Structure 1
Amino acid sequence: MSSRRAKATLGAAVAFAALTIWAVHFQQEQQHETMYKGVLRDDERRRQKMQQRQDDLEESRRKRELYEKVQQVEKS
């Protein structure tokens, strides 16, 4: 009976260790995926910001051309 109990304890310890290792690995994979999604969001946000700046620049150039047609501008 003692041998049976020792085998059960060993089996439980091995199962617990395996489950712990799997859980840590799973958690690391989830964390890695979350961080990667953050990088993708940052890239998209940066792309949108650059597009907005480009649009603002084009609008500013358009306004400048319009104002220069209407008003006399002296270059200094």
Structure 2
Amino acid sequence: MSAASRRAKATLAAAIGLSALTIWAVHFQQEQQHETMYQGVLRDDERRREKREKREEELRESQRKREIYEKVQRVESDNQKG
């Protein structure tokens, strides 16, 4: 085997190795981006759940206060007036 043939085979092997490494790196980067986006979705879902629970708690508190006020004072609705 000649030196030129060995160099050509080495160049081919290096090119194949570099290509494989590049493909793996791109795939790895895409997986990382996908995981990052997925974690963002989970955080958004958790924030929405917390906001919903807070609104529900505020509604319950408002209803509780209304019940107390209605016991203490007479409440008229708009259609009973006048």
Could you say what secondary structure the match of 2:51 adopts? helix
Matches within 5 A, 1:1-16: 1-16=3-18
Give the number of the structure whose alpha-carbon radius of gyration is greater: 2
* Alignment coverage as a number of residue pairs: 76
What is the CA distance between 1:43 and its match in structure 2? Answer: 0.7
Q: Could you list the runs of 5+ residues in structure 2 that have no partner in the other structure? A: none
Query: Which residue of structure 1 lines up, in the alignment, with residue 19 of structure 2?
Result: 17
Query: Which residue of structure 1 lines up, in the alignment, with residue 68 of structure 2?
Result: 66
What is the CA distance between 1:31 and its match in structure 2? Answer: 0.5
Q: Could you list the runs of 5+ residues in structure 1 that have no partner in the other structure? A: none
What is the CA distance between 1:44 and its match in structure 2? Answer: 0.8
Query: Which residue of structure 1 lines up, in the alignment, with residue 77 of structure 2?
Result: 75
TM, length-normalised to structure 1: 0.95
2:36 paired with 1:37: no
What is the CA distance between 1:72 and its match in structure 2? Answer: 1.9
What is the CA distance between 1:35 and its match in structure 2? Answer: 0.6
Superposed CA RMSD: 0.7
TM, length-normalised to structure 2: 0.89
- Distance, in Å, in 2 between the alignment partners of 1:16 and 1:37 is 31
